């Protein structure tokens, strides 16, 4: 099975972003991808962090969700929909939700981002406070697919290995990571973290990052990649828009886990 990580440089214009995402999804599908992962905030990178409140959608209703369902059905591919701003309990916040659609356009999973990016980026004047506008989730997600058990995480989640151990205990074999890493943190840690999550959990990772300059003066890193359970980068898109595409081979995963049984040697197991 071919998997793809789509890379974009999204703008504040939702309609324009969906047109671009449609083009990139079609290109990935034409390359043979049956599991396509979009980056975080693919539908909108607002001028202000509060812009997402104006486009938030109710569960199972809204143009972003309709778009994702249509793309999955049209291309007969599973689509991991980056993040969409979904209604939260608080009226002045959203959930950063990664919605997964099967190849018939049916929504089969929703993961709400657990770890929120409340940091001052070292060496820059960038200050991020996602908790001002995002309500954190609290439940990891692993779902069965025809390609293997798929776990979903979002961007800053990558820095919390205990999340992935929990997902591993739920059977994770493939990990999808939509992201929007800053240029600075991406240069320092993006590949390191993506490959570490693959190696320590002996799983495939499909990591789709925003990549480029945005109208809100943000610069995201890019470097979308697919990594195998031994930590080998199978495909990478360093810069620009497009996709990284590679074969996801569960027989290789099973062989690695059997011949290098590190997962069986765990002593401290998440409860």
- Which residues are annotated as catalytic? 40, 113, 155
Residues 43 and 21 sit within 8 Å (Cβ to Cβ):
yes
Between strands 107-112 and 94-101, the pairing is: antiparallel
Q: Which of 16, 129, 110, 6 is nearest to 63 (CA)?
A: 16
Which pair of structure tokens corresponds to residue 215? 């109208």
């Amino acid at each position: 099975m071919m998997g793809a990580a789509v890379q974009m440089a999204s703008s504040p214009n939702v309609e324009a972003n969906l047109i671009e995402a449609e083009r990139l999804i079609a290109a990935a599908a034409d390359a043979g991808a049956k599991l396509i992962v979009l980056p975080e905030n693919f539908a909108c990178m607002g001028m202000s962090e509060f812009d997402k409140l104006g486009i938030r959608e109710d569960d199972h209703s809204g143009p972003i969700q309709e778009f994702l369902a249509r793309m999955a059905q049209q291309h007969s591919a599973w689509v991991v929909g980056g993040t969409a701003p979904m209604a939260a309990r608080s009226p002045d916040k959203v959930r950063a939700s990664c919605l997964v659609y099967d190849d018939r356009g049916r929504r089969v999973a929703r993961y709400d981002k657990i770890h929120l990016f409340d940091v001052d980026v070292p060496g820059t004047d960038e200050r991020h406070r996602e908790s001002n506008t995002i309500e954190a989730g609290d439940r990891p997600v692993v779902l069965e697919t025809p390609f293997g058990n798929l776990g979903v995480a979002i961007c800053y989640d990558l820095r919390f290995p205990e999340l992935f151990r929990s997902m591993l205990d739920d059977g994770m074999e493939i990990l999808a990571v939509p992201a929007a890493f800053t240029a600075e943190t991406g240069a320092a840690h993006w590949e390191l973290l993506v490959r570490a999550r693959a190696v320590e959990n002996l799983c495939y990772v499909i990591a789709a990052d925003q990549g480029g300059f945005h109208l809100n003066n943000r610069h995201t890193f890019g470097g979308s990649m697919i990594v195998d359970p031994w930590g080998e980068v199978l495909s990478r898109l360093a810069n620009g828009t497009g996709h990284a595409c590679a074969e996801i081979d569960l027989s290789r995963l099973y062989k690695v886990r059997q011949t290098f049984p590190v997962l069986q040697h765990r002593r401290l197991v998440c409860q």
